[in-house]
Chains A and B, each alone.
Chain A
């Protein structure tokens, strides 16, 4: 009699243990997946890119080209290279500061929060996108809610819910992360009432700068017919040597 109890006891223990391991492994997975994807996206020490941004509206369309240098999360310098009317403007982000150099008025101006509420350069990118205060890894809890195929790639569908004290306006996010290369191919942003506010779609996945990345990003605000912003990478290099001093007000005027 004793033996049998022991054996069933052990089985139960093993089963329980397995369950625990399995659950932990499973739970961690969601966060890990997001972390991997996030690091792919931002983990590079520095970058240099040339981009074309097209702003699409029901009655008009506009294209802006620019060069961008970034270092870590806190430094970014952007130079507008086209169209001719906008050429020469540069934007500098240093931690929490946003500066703008405009050759037409020959002025270096520090931009207050209100200036960016209308979208950067008229696009659907907002203040929040640019200053990027929050981290999708640390500020959210994650849960895999399914699987879908996007652009012919199998993706995890993960729901991200902000933590109590997180500095995040969204109610929740849903991200589609490609299983093989951890590329973030689609994002849906929802407000606290569960209304979809914005969709971001990545496509044209190519090798660029030594990595596989979606080179075309579409930003679609919800509820507005015919509105979207398309950002395409024409060229990108990662981990180029960039001094902190590169990200200075003086350099804003000099950079080409």
Chain B
């Protein structure tokens, strides 16, 4: 009976109830949506790392991580991979050779980590073909002739493989690409110049541009003038199984782009067969097995399973290899929790205000109820219930709206291109797909009910203190 009355009471003062419901709805919507955006960003970052950098689980020879000694091999890598593939939680497995060495072009050299991969299998595990930088060649193909390499764009820039040419055509096209005429004009005398590398180019631009111009258009112009020559030569030197210097001349098939810049400037990918041949490692052996799971939540259990299956090897999952990622999730969860609590606290005060008004308005009515014998406990509960209803209605509306909006934006994603640099610096892409789990909604519902209850306590207490005689006397 209390419930029914409470419900009816909610709708008595439509304007007031509407305001509270609206504010709760807005608060819940805003909170939920921003949490969804944050979750989306983090899921993306995680995805990127798991999909293209780390995979879920990695297995190496026990000593391999301490030092990338060529001879710390998993001798039965192929058989191990087969076995792992048969597990139901596993989506794809690949094994590879990992050799430290030097990469040389005519003018520069750099320390690199050379990965001899099974090009087809790796597509399933790390999707390396998907991170190809547009307009920069292609991924390694099955039918490649000769030694081929797939390197990071940053590495290509460092080794002077990417050149910067300011042709007349490019200078002319600058205005169409958004560069103001006065700025583009400054580059006219430089038309036809080839620059050895990005640094020389930048220094030259800095000498003709003002600081603002450089900041605004510098990177854009760099990007436009960039040219990549496919099949550029790259000499790779390393040691073989017997510790002799060896290596080969490779041709670059294409460049890839990863958000993780450190990996991008050191990892070079080549065909497993080429690297095996040069190092003298027999086929079927590998330094690193990468495992991709169907579901990231299976990481821990599968890690333990693999540890038991292959004792004596080192099995590590992404949380251990890139602990910052694991921390990211934990930290984010904490932040959301805190955020929702603050929003609810703010809403709570609005509810307190409202319920207080409700109570004080109905002094007469409450007095009457008391006079006809409704006990204090029931009054208390009624007020609490009314408050909970108010909050819940608002909350439910808020959650429905957020679910709709999230579903809508989840497909296309939201483009925070204005903040691109900031996002990318953190390792996030600026195109985010909001995403939220159902357990979040359950949590929020519980919190809303709690808020409704807590907010109503003070007004309800106030209601109890009313003297029924006083109440009846008024008017």
Interface centre among A110, A117, A197 (most CB of B within 10 A): A117
Is A16 part of the binding interface, using a Cβ–Cβ cutoff of 8 Å? no
State whether B245 touches A98 (Cβ < 8 A).
yes
Interchain CB contact (< 8 A) of A165 among B160, B163, B249: B249
The smallest beta-carbon distance between B319 and chain A, in angstroms, is: 31
State whether A191 touches B105 (Cβ < 8 A).
yes
Residue of B nearest to A112 (CB): B239
Q: Is the interface of A mostly helix, strand, loop or mixed?
A: loop
CA distance A137 to B272 in the complex (A): 31
Residue of B nearest to A168 (CB): B249
CA distance A95 to B111 in the complex (A): 22
Is B127 part of the binding interface, using a Cβ–Cβ cutoff of 8 Å? no
State whether A192 touches B244 (Cβ < 8 A).
no
Is A244 part of the binding interface, using a Cβ–Cβ cutoff of 8 Å? no
Is A181 part of the binding interface, using a Cβ–Cβ cutoff of 8 Å? no
CA distance A56 to B17 in the complex (A): 86
Interface centre among A166, A171, A193 (most CB of B within 10 A): A193
On chain A, the residues within 8 Å of B229 by CB distance are 192-193
Residue of B nearest to A94 (CB): B244
CA distance A167 to B249 in the complex (A): 5
On chain A, the residues within 8 Å of B160 by CB distance are 191, 193
State whether B238 touches A113 (Cβ < 8 A).
yes
CA distance A127 to B235 in the complex (A): 12
State whether A165 touches B146 (Cβ < 8 A).
yes
CA distance A98 to B237 in the complex (A): 13
On chain A, the residues within 8 Å of B235 by CB distance are 128, 167-169
State whether A189 touches B106 (Cβ < 8 A).
yes
State whether B243 touches A110 (Cβ < 8 A).
yes
Is A114 part of the binding interface, using a Cβ–Cβ cutoff of 8 Å? yes
Interchain CB contact (< 8 A) of A169 among B163, B233, B238, B239: B233
Is B107 part of the binding interface, using a Cβ–Cβ cutoff of 8 Å? yes
**Chain B: how many interface residues by the 8 Å CB criterion?**
27
State whether B233 touches A192 (Cβ < 8 A).
yes
Contacts A113-B237, A191-B160; A167 near B105 (Cβ below 8 A): no
Contacts A95-B244, A167-B248; A113 near B163 (Cβ below 8 A): no
Is B466 part of the binding interface, using a Cβ–Cβ cutoff of 8 Å? no
Residue of A nearest to B161 (CB): A192
On chain A, the residues within 8 Å of B237 by CB distance are 113, 127
CA distance A170 to B104 in the complex (A): 10
State whether B163 touches A193 (Cβ < 8 A).
yes
On chain B, the residues within 8 Å of A195 by CB distance are 106-107, 196
CA distance A71 to B232 in the complex (A): 34
On chain A, the residues within 8 Å of B130 by CB distance are none
Is A97 part of the binding interface, using a Cβ–Cβ cutoff of 8 Å? yes
Interchain CB contact (< 8 A) of B246 among A96, A171, A223: A96
CA distance A96 to B248 in the complex (A): 13
On chain A, the residues within 8 Å of B233 by CB distance are 168-169, 192
Residue of A nearest to B107 (CB): A197
Is B8 part of the binding interface, using a Cβ–Cβ cutoff of 8 Å? no
State whether B101 touches A171 (Cβ < 8 A).
no
The smallest beta-carbon distance between B137 and chain A, in angstroms, is: 15
State whether B102 touches A117 (Cβ < 8 A).
yes
Is A64 part of the binding interface, using a Cβ–Cβ cutoff of 8 Å? no
Is B194 part of the binding interface, using a Cβ–Cβ cutoff of 8 Å? yes
Is A38 part of the binding interface, using a Cβ–Cβ cutoff of 8 Å? no
The smallest beta-carbon distance between A223 and chain B, in angstroms, is: 7
Which 5 pairs from chain A and chain B are nearest by CB? A191-B106, A96-B244, A96-B245, A167-B249, A113-B102
Sample of 22 A–B contacts (CB below 8 Å):
A96-B245, A96-B246, A97-B243, A97-B244, A112-B239, A113-B101, A113-B237, A113-B238, A127-B102, A127-B104, A127-B109, A128-B104, A128-B235, A166-B249, A169-B106, A169-B233, A169-B249, A190-B106, A191-B105, A193-B160, A197-B107, A223-B196
> Residues of A with Cβ closer than 8 Å to B?
95-98, 110, 112-114, 117, 126-128, 131, 165-171, 189-193, 195, 197, 223
Extra contacts, 15 of them, besides A96-B245, A169-B233 (Cβ < 8 A), are A96-B246, A97-B243, A113-B102, A113-B237, A113-B238, A113-B239, A113-B245, A114-B101, A114-B111, A166-B249, A167-B249, A168-B233, A168-B249, A192-B105, A197-B107
